[in-house]
Amino acid sequence: MKGKLLGFFALSAIAGAMGSAFAQDAAPTLTAAEKEAAKKIYFERCAGCHGVLRKGATGKNLEPHWTKTAKDGTKTEGGTRKLGQGRLEKIIGYGTDGGMVNFDDILSKDEIALMAKYIQNTPDVPPEYSFKDTMDSWKVIVPVKDRPTKQMNKFNLKNMFSVTLRDTGEVALIDGDTKEIRSIVKTGYAVHISRLSKSGRYVYVIGRDGKLSLIDLWMEKPAVVAELKVGFDARSVDTSKFKGYDDKYAIAGSYWPPQYVIMDGDTLKPLKVVSTRGMTVDGEYHPEPRVASIVSSEIKPEWVVNIKETGQILLVDYSDIKNLKTTTIESAKFLHDGGWDASKRYFLVAANASNKIAAVDTKLGKLAALIDTAKIPHPGRGANFMHPKYGPVWATGHLGADVVTLISTPSDKKEHAKYKEYNWKVVQEMKHVPGNLFVKTHPKSKHFWADAPQNPDKDTAESVAVWDMADLSKPKAMLNVAKDSGLPPTKATKRAVHPEYSADGKEVWISLWGGKTDQSAIVVYDDATLKVKKVITDPKMITPTGKFNVYNTQHDIY
């Protein structure tokens, strides 16, 4: 993987031409070995927020005209002093209140100094990735005709969890009933999401290195049956779910190159590659409009494809792949993650640089609302529940603000007509802390959970907040997951991340994400009592992060 990873940051000569307008001062020099090491760290730890070209999105712009120290002490056109080596090292090491995580427990002092130097140099531009490159990477490990015709294991697949093992490039399939690891599957690096086929048989997982893996849960020991590399950096995948097209197609989106790939759903054979380069909602061309979240509508044969940098939401009609029809909806920058409302008609997505939530009416094919929120909304898929006063609401947390935002969502149910006046309004801000990544609840639960792994305070990052639905004025409890795990304390922060419910809504699973050399764990809580039921540990379970319950993911329950 290292060779591909480093090749990802080639063609620095092109980058030099692109960035020459900002090269007023000499950047710190790097040896060839230092530069290669810095490229690898940047790809693994930084590119997701700041972009391959370092133009910024969720994270700040890191091009040299912002990061280099000016010799004469001048300020930029925005009035902000250029950062320079010392300031950059402090930001990288200790993080910021705006959601930048501290890296002093992840990187050494030398690595922090190296990264401060690296981002003062002109970014490299990675190579393109063609349809031929995509096709050449395609592998069918178990042909469809050789796959089981029925479930060959006795696992309760509805309560299986697909757990990302971030730093090993693997997914652990954990039995939700027994809490045993049933299979550890080699996938791409730092799998971002696991998505289920409409049938519930296949798990599609995509790594940040662009590798897409198709896992067959019906096999005696679930394993990868097909794989494809869709680009050099990726985040999103889904299948076709409209009646008559069940799992016929799959789609995966890339951060680099900025494009998406349509493929056969059961083999991953590439059928079409579509570029997303173009104009932003502000009317300017952007060279790196990355594909953020993708979801599949069950109202029409369409995918909702969110283009981060342009602020454009695409409704891609897959009923005729050769004559692809796309509806472009203008929203706001920079689009990130999102999820369905309770009715599954409206898709809500964070435009986190604009501090807005965009809501798309997939039935009418147009923007339903653009809602102002607190700083840097980051919903994951969000959370749906019935508010005691405002009716159906969808929730998002924030990286940069100390609240959880509740937005009223429409409903066709007669008994919900009295809530119509609140629709698409922020009806409440629940007190929380900055640095939240994921919020979660369940239709059978009376609780609402929110993490804060990006908060710079160690105890806060190692804890989760829980609210009682009957009283959302303040958290009912702050659970220190690191302490509850019983693992020995470490200097490094064990970040409590990504609450996920069991299929029956009775358990909540929290990952403890430590360093590669630290013992990690998944702490399972009883949702009713908030007491620890089980701590799942295993030497093979390294840096667990996202967990995706098969049934809940299959049916968009959150």
| Residues annotated as catalytic (active site), given as ranges | 46, 49-50, 100, 336, 378
DSSP string, 366-432: EEEEEEE-SSSB--TT-EEEEETTTEEEEEE-BSSSSEEEEEE-----GGGGGGGGGTTSEEEEEE-
Distance between CA 530 and CA 291 in Å, rounded?
37
Distance between CA 168 and CA 129 in Å, rounded?
25
Distance between CA 386 and CA 389 in Å, rounded?
8
**Whole-angstrom distance between the N-terminal and C-terminal Cα of the chain?**
34
The residue among 10, 265, 257, 296 whose CA lies nearest residue 134 is: 257
Burial of 424 (0-12, 13-18, 19+ CB in 10 A): middle
Handedness of CA 431, 344, 195, 152 (dihedral sign): positive
DSSP state of 362: T
Close Cβ partners of 43 (under 8 Å, ≥ 6 residues apart):
5, 8, 9, 208, 233
The residue among 449, 429, 332 whose CA lies nearest residue 382 is: 449
The residue among 426, 6, 382, 468 whose CA lies nearest residue 209 is: 6
Residue 317 vs residues 181, 252, 299, 320: alpha-carbon distances, Å: 38, 15, 12, 7
User: What's the helix, strand, coil split of the chain in %, to 5?
Assistant: 20, 35, 45
3-class DSSP state of 456: coil
Question: Encoding tokens for residue 158?
Answer: 């509805």
